[in-house]
Amino acid sequence: MRIGLTYDLRSDYLKEGFSEEETAEFDKESTIEAIERELHFLGHSTVRIGHIRNLTKDLVEGKRWDLVFNISEGLYGIGREAQVPAILDAYSIPYTFSDPLVLALTLHKGMTKHVVRDCCIPTPDFKVVYKEKDLESIDLPYPLFVKPNAEGSGKGISYNSKVRNPSELKASCAERWKNGSIPLLIETYLPGREFTVGILGTGEESFSVGAMEVLFRTTAQESVYSYDLKTNYENYIDYALPEPEILSSCCQMALKAWKVLECRDGGRIDVRMDGNGIPNFIEVNPLAGLTINEICACVIRGNNAPLVVDLTSIIAEPSG
C-alpha cells in the first residue's frame, strides 16, 4: 500500500517566524521518522506530503495515495483540524483518524460539552464568552477555570486560569483576549484528581488502552495543567497508574464519550474528578500528539480501508 503522510512539522513553522507556543501542537521530525519506519516494517511505502498547502498542490498535480496517515493539526480557523480530512473526502481518498465533523466539533470545547452533557456524561458547568459584557451573565459558583475555547496542548492556560472571584475572572479573561484568545471557555473548577485516558478503535470496536494520573509536584505554582507545566513536565509533573477501581471508572466514562462523539481510530480524553470523586469529561483530543516513547499497537481503519499499524515507540505524549 502507498501511504501519504500529512502533518505539520514544527520546525517548518518556527522557520517562518511562528513562536514556540503557537507551534506547540505540531510534530517533530523524529515522530514522522518513527511513523514511516513502522509503516515500512509492515511492508508499505510512504510519501511525505506535509501540511495542507503541500497536499492541495499535490492533488492539483494529480498525485494520489492508497491511504493518507493524517496527523495534521492545521493553523488557521476553528475548523483547522478538519481541513485535511475534508479535502481528502472531496477526492475520495481514505485517511486515518477522525472525520471533518468530529474534528470541527471537538476543537470547539463548548459545543463538545453540549453534546456530551446532553448524552448524560458528567462535565463541569460552563459558559462560552466573547467579550467583557458576557461576564455579567456568569452565574457559576467560584472557583472557576478560564481557558481558550479552541486550543490544545495547554495553550492559553496558566496559573491564573483558576479564578476565585469576579475581579480575578475579569483580569484572567482580559489577559487572554489581549493575546487573541476569542472565545473563552469558563467552567466550574473541579477540585479532584486529574487523568488522561487513551482510546483506540472506532464505534463498538473501540476500547481504552488505559489511563495515567497527572500528579503535580511541589515545584508547580498551582495545580493547573498549564502550557508551561506540559512543556516542562519533567520538572513539575509525575505520571502514575491509578488504582484499579479509579482506572475502571475513568475509562468507562471516557469510552462512553468517545463513542457518543463518534471519534475514530485513536485519541485521548482528559478527565478530572469533582468533589465527590466522580470522573468528569474535560475535553477530547481526536488527533492526540505522538512522541517516541514506548510501543503502542493501533488498529486504524482509515475510512473503511483496514490498516493495522504497530507504532513501535509511539504513544500519546503528555503535552499533546
So what's the pLDDT on residue 217? 87
Assess whether 220 and 251 both reside in one domain.
yes
Question: Which of these three, 172, 188, 204, is where a domain ends?
Answer: 188
Assess whether 184 and 197 both reside in one domain.
no
Task: Cell 483547522: give the residue.
Answer: 80
Assess whether 199 and 291 both reside in one domain.
yes
Question: Which of these three, 59, 80, 97, is where a domain ends?
Answer: 97
pTM: 0.87
Query: What digits encode the pLDDT tens for the residues 219-254?
Result: 776 677 877 777 778 888 899 999 999 999 999 999
Is the Cα torsion angle 274, 279, 280, 284 positive or negative in sign? positive
Assess whether 222 and 285 both reside in one domain.
yes
So what's the pLDDT on residue 302? 42
| CA–centroid distance for 212 within its chain | 16
Query: Virtual CA dihedral for 228, 239, 123, 176, nearest 10 degrees?
Result: 0
Nearest to 145 by CA among 158, 131, 132: 158
Question: Which of these three, 188, 223, 242, is where a domain ends?
Answer: 188
Assess whether 164 and 204 both reside in one domain.
no
Assess whether 93 and 8 both reside in one domain.
yes
Assess whether 209 and 132 both reside in one domain.
no
For residue 16, being part of any structural domain is answered with yes
For residue 109, being part of any structural domain is answered with no
HEC-encoded secondary structure of the chain: CEEEEECCEHHHHHHCCCCCCCCCCCECHHHHHHHHHHHHHCCCEEEEEECHHHHHHHHHCCCCCCEEEECCCCCCCCCHHHHHHHHHHHCCCCECCCCHHHHHHHHCHHHHHHHHHHCCCCCCCEEEECCHHHHHHCCCCCCEEEEECCCCCCCCCCHHHEECCHHHHHHHHHHHHHCCCCCEEEEECCCCCEEEEEEECCHHHCEEEEEEEEEECCCCCCCCCCHHHHHCHHHHEEEECCCHHHHHHHHHHHHHHHHHCCCCCEEEEEEEECCCCCEEEEEEECCCCEEECCCEEEEECCCCCCEEEEECCEEECCCC
For residue 112, being part of any structural domain is answered with no
So what's the pLDDT on residue 291? 63
For 217, the domain range is 191-316
Assess whether 58 and 7 both reside in one domain.
yes
CA max distance for the chain:
60
For residue 106, being part of any structural domain is answered with no
* Cell numbers that stand for 12 in this block: 517548518
Assess whether 214 and 172 both reside in one domain.
no
Domain of residue 171, CATH code: 3.30.1490.20
- Cis geometry, peptide bond prior to residue 94 (ω within 30 degrees of 0): no
Question: In the chain, which stretches have pLDDT less than 70?
Answer: 153, 221-222, 291-320
For residue 253, being part of any structural domain is answered with yes
Task: Give the chain's domain count.
Answer: 3
Are residues 168 and 160 in contact, defined by beta-carbon separation less than 8 angstroms?
Answer: yes
For residue 295, being part of any structural domain is answered with yes
What is the spatial distance between Cα 170 and Cα 115, in angstroms, rounded to a whole number? 28
What is the spatial distance between Cα 153 and Cα 174, in angstroms, rounded to a whole number? 21
Is the Cα torsion angle 20, 153, 93, 90 positive or negative in sign? negative
Task: Give the gyration radius of the chain's Cα atoms.
Answer: 19
Assess whether 54 and 165 both reside in one domain.
no
Assess whether 198 and 292 both reside in one domain.
yes
So what's the pLDDT on residue 28? 87
For residue 105, being part of any structural domain is answered with no
Is the Cα torsion angle 127, 130, 135, 136 positive or negative in sign? negative
Domain of residue 206, CATH code: 3.30.470.20
Query: Can you name the residues that pair with 67 across neighbouring β-strands?
Result: 3
Assess whether 311 and 197 both reside in one domain.
yes
Nearest to 104 by CA among 118, 85, 119, 88: 85
Are residues 6 and 70 in contact, defined by beta-carbon separation less than 8 angstroms?
Answer: yes
Nearest to 103 by CA among 214, 25, 2: 25
Domain of residue 26, CATH code: 3.40.50.20
For residue 107, being part of any structural domain is answered with no
